[in-house]
Structure 1
Amino acid sequence: MKYKIFTWSDTKLYLLVIALSVLIMALFQPIVAFVMGLVLAYLVYYNHRKIDEKNKEIAKYIEGLSHDFDSAAKHALFNMPFPMVFIDDNGKITWYNTPFLTLLGEEEIVNKSISELVPDFNLSELMKKKENEPMSISYMDRYFEVYPNFLEDRKTSGKGSITVLYWVDDTDHVVLEKEHKREKTVVALVDVDNYDDVKNSTPDIHRPIVLAEIDQLINSYFGQYGGIVRKYENDKYMVVLNHGALESLKGKKFDLLDQIRDMDMGNTIPITLSIGVCQAGKTLLESYENASAAIDIALGRGGDQAVINVGNTFDYYGGKSKAMEKRNKVKARVIGDALRQLIDQNERVFVMGHKNPDMDSIGSSVGIMRAIKNRNKEAYLVLNGENPSIRNLMERMRNDSPEMFKRVIAGEDAAGLMDEKSLLIVVDNHKPSLTEAPELLELTEKVVVIDHHRRGAEFINNPVLTYLEPYASSTSELVTEVLTYMGEETNLTKFEAEALLAGITVDTKNFSFQTGVRTFEAASVLKRAGADTTVVKQLFRDDFSTFVNKAEVIKSSRILFDRIAIGRLQKKMDDSILIAAQAANELLNINDVEASFVLSQLENKIHISGRSLGNISVQLILEKLGGGGHLTSAGAQIEKLSMEEAEKLLIDIIDKYLKEGEKR
């Protein structure tokens, strides 16, 4: 390599000036000009020689400096205090330094794969990294930040490239971070779900023992994890513990739920708890508020479970038992009175169910329309279109209640009518994304939610009134109760009573599942209003093609895990959801089948209908797929998967659920 520090350009200007002077002098003094020309020639020669000598000296100096630098670089490379290794494109080791060899404890590692020597090392992840962008590696109880340096452009070079990996020990920082996280304060709230029912149903002689045992069990359980328990109401506790203790509780699936449910100290009914935990709060106040939100969700899902608020999502533990029916109707009376006042305060009231509405969604909407009419207010039912599930009921509305049918409008039309004096009542659903017209929720701050599904993480924001009761068989049951408390007379017509009874019938599978005393009381109210069970049964009649397709699903179904039936509806059709739901119900009639799932094909989606006899929670299973519902009835929709892929994913989730134990 040649180094040129001094060049002709540095003296060219001066020599040109001298040459020009010689030429001018030649015109007047030729002899003097000749002498000066000789002097100029000597100067040119002298300048050339000096430039050449200087450049040689500089080149020699730089070469010496480069040699010294190479020696220093090699010395630094071989004696670097932290591990360093060279690998090729295939992850094979081509060179390493002594600290890296000491780290591995191997004798011969050249040409061996680094992924085999360090199991946590992911070559594909490395190839996605930018220059000097670290990747975290753990090896032999130590933690490293590995910085890559690419000697050649991996994307443009046709030759094999070499990657230099610098291993910086980050163990102290990681251990300190884990210790800090483990000691972080966590707030938990514990509620005894059925405290009053347990207290009132327990004989007097055993009552003090039962209540004392509840206190003792909760205190001792959290005490063994170093938690502080403070009781602030008869049935409410606040617990303060650290994050490490919470991880232990999660590992044991919050077995306190099982222990207190199995407690038998003379109580006649099982005791259940709801636990709300926050593990992501920045302050104690924020942790307490987030724990309160978590326990609200636990109670809204029926209790007997723990809900952990982890920031943007929630983790659920338990919730595998049926929600206990509440015999006290005080809440229904309070809700009825509050709803009457809200309706009276607004000029227009809109009623909206969920997408792909079923009989319960429409039946409960019809009941709310009657409540609004009783208050002499303008009412509208938001419905974007009919589906086979409600076709017969809507035909009945068209013929028997034409005035109400005229009030059925699309979501777009409802948006044009809504203003600040409008009230929106959402029935049979509490998830904004599943409402018939989600945009309506943004047009008014006055929203009422009436639902019987277990509460999920997604919930309508700040409703003015919420009536969420998972113990109820259906939303139609809740609406029927509320109607009886909104005035002296319900004024239900025969059609309206039959629509509500149809809603109860479909969700209880003809009064076979999820029924309680209050379910039959609601049915008796509807019977007195003129509901005819024979007419209601006719609302569920199917056409011939639906019946045949349902039979094909049942015929092609298979039994897995000795008690789970899974079927498929391969055809795409308008009533595929209805057929899937009905087929899932029919599969429960097979001996030894405790739960059933039927997959159907929608436009760019796979719909899954799940049904259960109660021992297996189809809700918990389908929640893993983004769905929800009840212990015995749930659904989910999956995007971007084929029918085969969706079925395999469903089977994997069922398998995991059964291994954890379907009954706690």
Structure 2
Amino acid sequence: MKKSKFFKWSDVIIFFIALILLSIVIVYYNAVLGVIAFIITVYLVFYESKLMQYKSNEFERYIENIDKQFDEITRRAIFSMPFPLVILNGDCKIKWYNTKFKEVVGTEETYINIEIENIFSEIKKDSIYSGVRYIEVKFNEKFYKFYINIFEKDSDNSDILLYAVDYTGEYKLNKELIDTSLVAVNINIDNYDEIYENTEDNVRPMVFAEVDRVINNFVQQYKGYSVKFEQEDYFVIISHENLEQIMENKFNILDQVRELEEGNKIPITLSIGVGTNQENILETFKVAKACTNIALGRGGDQTVVKIGDHYEYYGGKRQSTYKSSAVKARVIANGLVKILEQGGNIFIMGHKNPDMDSIGSCLGIMEAANIVGKNSYIVLDRVTPAIENIYNSVLKNYPDENIEEKFISPNKAIGLCEAESVVVVLDHHRRSHSECEELLDLSKNIVLIDHHRRGSEYIENAILTYLEPHASSTSELVTEVIFYMSEKVKIPKVIAEALLAGITVDTKNFILQTGVRTFEAASILKRQGADSVEVKQLFRDDEKTVKLKGDVVANSEIYKNRIAIGVLNEKIEESILIAAQAADEMLNMNGIEASFVLTLNGDKIHISGRSLGQISVQLILEKLGGGGHLTSAGTQLEESMDGAINQLKNAITDYLEEDENESNSNR
């Protein structure tokens, strides 16, 4: 009775209670009739209970019979299924499989108690329990989707049913559609002006004719069509299938053009953008053009391919082409003056954990605002050890006694910023790296000045962008802009020293990433009163910092014979600064071409990378979600120290293998 969900006493209990009450009433008036009524009521209760018990038992027998029939139907259905089935235990070892599964595997041996991963490498235990609906597998030139069903017996035991659907036809059709789809390629001679100016008149036509020949031969090799629509721009259409071949060859046209020697005094470099899988060829070409701009923003001499929502990069392992012309700086200066004059309050911000270049360029733009008579603020969350010396020097030596009021917190900046305000972003171009991201949404007047190679994350809504990877530092770019804003410019000595300090730290004392314009900027700052001795004093460290740097260098590991890896386990405020300085120090060791120092930064691991130019620390750390410059880059990982070291070593190994394979393919 208790087992039945369909026949219960509650269904008729009211009726029986009514009969009993009626019997009691009859007894009151007539004892004989009342006793008879009571006997009849008891009989009815007994009879109904027996009837309900019988029906309940009959129903349970019916359900059990249906269950047995269903089990038999299920077993027969499973054995006769037209697609492969396999049952695994909780450890992903095979317990049972059907005939179709055996036909797919194509062997007579048994697979009982064998891990499924030993047969299909794509089906891993972690993947099965990750919550995905199915796993795609390629086996014997066929493609399958293995759908996952997990049945938990109890908290410690479970069975896993996998059934495979052959989608080889669908896969091949989809691949054919992709292979035959059109891809737009934009090829740009990124140092055209420099080549033109530095090549003698009598050989100049031959140089550019040879570039045309190499590009046209390259396009014809991959069955494409090209059009030259400007002196330095080419538009190319090829199939996606041929693009894959070009990607396998690492876009070796970059090397072919760079190696041309037809009387040109400097190497010719290309920036290539590739757009794929857009709604139409016009949209595809727009994506290709945008990718070319990214390649130029990363320093040129490389290719950027957009596939889906991510970018792939080729080349970019050499120093960016140095631009001797300052025409762009003049144009930017004129544009900046107009924006500053027409906008409201000016908010200047560098990147989080600011360094000398970041704060130096911020102080420089503050002077630019003073030149046009506008009120400005420097957004600074905290004074880090890296900028403490220059910050204190500015507070002490700046002519305006109210200089401290120029430095405001991000929260205060958010309260003051309006749509008409001007936000100047310096020494970075990633939104997430900004001192105050919210300002980028509050203002419609965003100015971006940076010298780092452009990464995938980028501040897109800037109305004026000055991104020059060839420059030594953002302080160099800001110095040029300031002195093109007006014929007669005079800036305070302490500001000149801050800008010179920014250039000094990013060039490693004028050793790396320097050009004629770097020294011209430095000479301008010297004429403004910058004292090299006082600049040197800004980089002095206390005794503890010097000892910690020494410990990092002394305990560093030499990886792959030419890369030094150090660890700073001290969790202190100056850890990032010490890591960067220790990475610089390790480059002084014989045979070391690049260095990395890992340190604790809150609950993350910060990595500072430095190189002498032969190895791109930017490309290595981009594999770990970071970025920066060819010779200076950084990233942060949510990982243990040992895990971060392993990830770094894997990224280094991948980079060196890619570099070696690319070198071999070009021989």
Given that 2:343 and 2:445 are in contact with CA atoms closer than 8 Å, whether structure 1 keeps it comes out as no
Question: Could you tell me which residue of structure 2 aligns to residue 31 of structure 1?
Answer: none
Question: Could you tell me which residue of structure 1 aligns to residue 106 of structure 2?
Answer: 105
Q: Tell me the distance in 2 between the aligned counterparts of 1:352 and 1:60.
A: 79
Given that 2:446 and 2:463 are in contact with CA atoms closer than 8 Å, whether structure 1 keeps it comes out as yes
Given that 1:137 and 1:143 are in contact with CA atoms closer than 8 Å, whether structure 2 keeps it comes out as yes
Give the TM-score normalised by the residue count of structure 1. Answer: 0.86
Which segment is superposed worse, 75-84 or 505-514? 75-84
1:629 corresponds to 2:628: yes
Instruction: String of CA shifts for 1:613-652, please: whole Å, max 9, x gaps.
Output: 111111111222222221111222222332x222222122
Given that 2:376 and 2:406 are in contact with CA atoms closer than 8 Å, whether structure 1 keeps it comes out as no
Q: 1:87 to 1:569 in 2, by over 3 A?
A: closer
1:370 corresponds to 2:367: yes
Q: Tell me the distance in 1 between the aligned counterparts of 2:212 and 2:281.
A: 24
Question: Could you tell me which residue of structure 1 aligns to residue 618 of structure 2?
Answer: 619
2:260 aligned residue (254, 258, 263): 263
Q: Which AA in structure 2 matches 1:144?
A: Y
- SS of the residue aligned with 1:650? helix
Equivalent pairs counted in the alignment come to: 648
Map 1:278-427; keep pairs closer than 5 Å: 278-401=275-398, 403=400, 405-411=403-409, 412-427=411-426
Q: Tell me the distance in 2 between the aligned counterparts of 1:279 and 1:622.
A: 26
Instruction: String of CA shifts for 1:457-489, please: whole Å, max 9, x gaps.
Output: 112231111111111111111111111211111
Q: 1:413 to 1:177 in 2, by over 3 A?
A: same
Given that 2:420 and 2:444 are in contact with CA atoms closer than 8 Å, whether structure 1 keeps it comes out as no
1:545 corresponds to 2:544: yes
Given that 1:563 and 1:593 are in contact with CA atoms closer than 8 Å, whether structure 2 keeps it comes out as yes
**Percent of matched pairs sharing the same residue:** 47
Question: Could you tell me which residue of structure 1 aligns to residue 501 of structure 2?
Answer: 502
Which segment is superposed worse, 480-489 or 142-151? 142-151
Q: 1:161 to 1:378 in 2, by over 3 A?
A: closer
User: How far has the Cα of 1:148 moved from its partner?
Assistant: 5.2
Q: Which AA in structure 1 matches 2:372?
A: R
User: How far has the Cα of 1:587 moved from its partner?
Assistant: 1.6
Q: 1:92 to 1:396 in 2, by over 3 A?
A: closer
1:650 corresponds to 2:648: yes
Q: Tell me the distance in 2 between the aligned counterparts of 1:537 and 1:287.
A: 51
Question: Could you tell me which residue of structure 2 aligns to residue 49 of structure 1?
Answer: none
Q: 1:568 to 1:129 in 2, by over 3 A?
A: closer
Q: 1:154 to 1:355 in 2, by over 3 A?
A: same
User: How far has the Cα of 1:183 moved from its partner?
Assistant: 2.0
Question: Could you tell me which residue of structure 1 aligns to residue 558 of structure 2?
Answer: 559
User: How far has the Cα of 1:255 moved from its partner?
Assistant: 1.4
- SS of the residue aligned with 2:385? coil
Q: Which AA in structure 2 matches 1:256?
A: I
- SS of the residue aligned with 2:497? helix
Given that 1:280 and 1:309 are in contact with CA atoms closer than 8 Å, whether structure 2 keeps it comes out as no
Given that 2:347 and 2:422 are in contact with CA atoms closer than 8 Å, whether structure 1 keeps it comes out as yes
User: How far has the Cα of 1:113 moved from its partner?
Assistant: 2.2
Q: 1:544 to 1:224 in 2, by over 3 A?
A: same
Q: Tell me the distance in 2 between the aligned counterparts of 1:441 and 1:114.
A: 52
Question: Could you tell me which residue of structure 2 aligns to residue 527 of structure 1?
Answer: 526
1:175 corresponds to 2:176: no
Question: Could you tell me which residue of structure 1 aligns to residue 251 of structure 2?
Answer: 254
- SS of the residue aligned with 2:319? coil
Q: 1:321 to 1:136 in 2, by over 3 A?
A: closer
Q: 1:336 to 1:78 in 2, by over 3 A?
A: closer
- SS of the residue aligned with 1:406? helix
Question: Could you tell me which residue of structure 2 aligns to residue 447 of structure 1?
Answer: 446
Q: Tell me the distance in 1 between the aligned counterparts of 2:443 and 2:64.
A: 80
Q: Tell me the distance in 2 between the aligned counterparts of 1:59 and 1:555.
A: 80
Question: Could you tell me which residue of structure 1 aligns to residue 606 of structure 2?
Answer: 607
Q: Which AA in structure 2 matches 1:99?
A: K
Instruction: String of CA shifts for 1:155-183, please: whole Å, max 9, x gaps.
Output: 46x8x766554433221112212222222
User: How far has the Cα of 1:270 moved from its partner?
Assistant: 0.6
Q: Which AA in structure 1 matches 2:617?
A: V
1:212 corresponds to 2:209: yes
Q: Which AA in structure 1 matches 2:435?
A: E
Given that 2:300 and 2:320 are in contact with CA atoms closer than 8 Å, whether structure 1 keeps it comes out as yes
Instruction: String of CA shifts for 1:10-46, please: whole Å, max 9, x gaps.
Output: xxx9xxxxxxxxxxxxxxxxxxxxxxxxxxxxxxxxx
User: How far has the Cα of 1:122 moved from its partner?
Assistant: 3.6
Q: Tell me the distance in 1 between the aligned counterparts of 2:73 and 2:507.
A: 83
Q: Tell me the distance in 1 between the aligned counterparts of 2:356 and 2:63.
A: 90
Which segment is superposed worse, 277-286 or 524-533? 277-286
Q: 1:254 to 1:103 in 2, by over 3 A?
A: same
Q: 1:577 to 1:100 in 2, by over 3 A?
A: closer
Given that 1:114 and 1:121 are in contact with CA atoms closer than 8 Å, whether structure 2 keeps it comes out as no
Given that 1:473 and 1:507 are in contact with CA atoms closer than 8 Å, whether structure 2 keeps it comes out as yes
Q: Which AA in structure 1 matches 2:114?
A: S
Q: 1:109 to 1:367 in 2, by over 3 A?
A: same
Q: Which AA in structure 1 matches 2:448?
A: V
Q: Tell me the distance in 2 between the aligned counterparts of 1:69 and 1:558.
A: 66
Q: 1:355 to 1:166 in 2, by over 3 A?
A: closer
- SS of the residue aligned with 1:461? coil
Given that 2:360 and 2:499 are in contact with CA atoms closer than 8 Å, whether structure 1 keeps it comes out as yes
Give the TM-score normalised by the residue count of structure 2. Answer: 0.85
Given that 1:374 and 1:491 are in contact with CA atoms closer than 8 Å, whether structure 2 keeps it comes out as no
Q: Tell me the distance in 2 between the aligned counterparts of 1:358 and 1:283.
A: 45
User: How far has the Cα of 1:120 moved from its partner?
Assistant: 4.1
User: How far has the Cα of 1:135 moved from its partner?
Assistant: 3.8
Q: 1:250 to 1:492 in 2, by over 3 A?
A: same
Q: Tell me the distance in 2 between the aligned counterparts of 1:602 and 1:256.
A: 42
User: How far has the Cα of 1:359 moved from its partner?
Assistant: 1.5
Q: 1:112 to 1:287 in 2, by over 3 A?
A: same
Question: Could you tell me which residue of structure 2 aligns to residue 660 of structure 1?
Answer: 658
Question: Could you tell me which residue of structure 2 aligns to residue 203 of structure 1?
Answer: 200
Q: 1:80 to 1:575 in 2, by over 3 A?
A: closer
Instruction: String of CA shifts for 1:130-152, please: whole Å, max 9, x gaps.
Output: 9xx5443332112223345667x
1:230 corresponds to 2:231: no
Question: Could you tell me which residue of structure 1 aligns to residue 44 of structure 2?
Answer: none
Question: Could you tell me which residue of structure 2 aligns to residue 16 of structure 1?
Answer: none
Instruction: String of CA shifts for 1:288-331, please: whole Å, max 9, x gaps.
Output: 22222211111011101111123433221111111122121111
Q: Which AA in structure 2 matches 1:649?
A: Q
Rg (Cα) greater in structure: 1
Q: Tell me the distance in 2 between the aligned counterparts of 1:514 and 1:165.
A: 57
- SS of the residue aligned with 2:609? strand
Q: Tell me the distance in 1 between the aligned counterparts of 2:60 and 2:345.
A: 92
Given that 1:384 and 1:409 are in contact with CA atoms closer than 8 Å, whether structure 2 keeps it comes out as no
Q: Which AA in structure 2 matches 1:660?
A: E
User: How far has the Cα of 1:269 moved from its partner?
Assistant: 0.9
User: How far has the Cα of 1:337 moved from its partner?
Assistant: 0.9
Q: Which AA in structure 1 matches 2:375?
A: E
- SS of the residue aligned with 1:484? helix
Given that 2:123 and 2:135 are in contact with CA atoms closer than 8 Å, whether structure 1 keeps it comes out as no
User: How far has the Cα of 1:191 moved from its partner?
Assistant: 0.5
User: How far has the Cα of 1:544 moved from its partner?
Assistant: 2.0
Given that 1:93 and 1:109 are in contact with CA atoms closer than 8 Å, whether structure 2 keeps it comes out as no
Q: Tell me the distance in 1 between the aligned counterparts of 2:440 and 2:70.
A: 70
CA-based RMSD of the aligned residues comes to: 4.1
Instruction: String of CA shifts for 1:435-462, please: whole Å, max 9, x gaps.
Output: 2222221211101111111111112231
Which segment is superposed worse, 121-130 or 207-216? 121-130
Q: Tell me the distance in 2 between the aligned counterparts of 1:654 and 1:287.
A: 33
Q: 1:70 to 1:318 in 2, by over 3 A?
A: closer
Instruction: String of CA shifts for 1:413-433, please: whole Å, max 9, x gaps.
Output: 222222233211112121121
Q: Tell me the distance in 1 between the aligned counterparts of 2:458 and 2:548.
A: 35
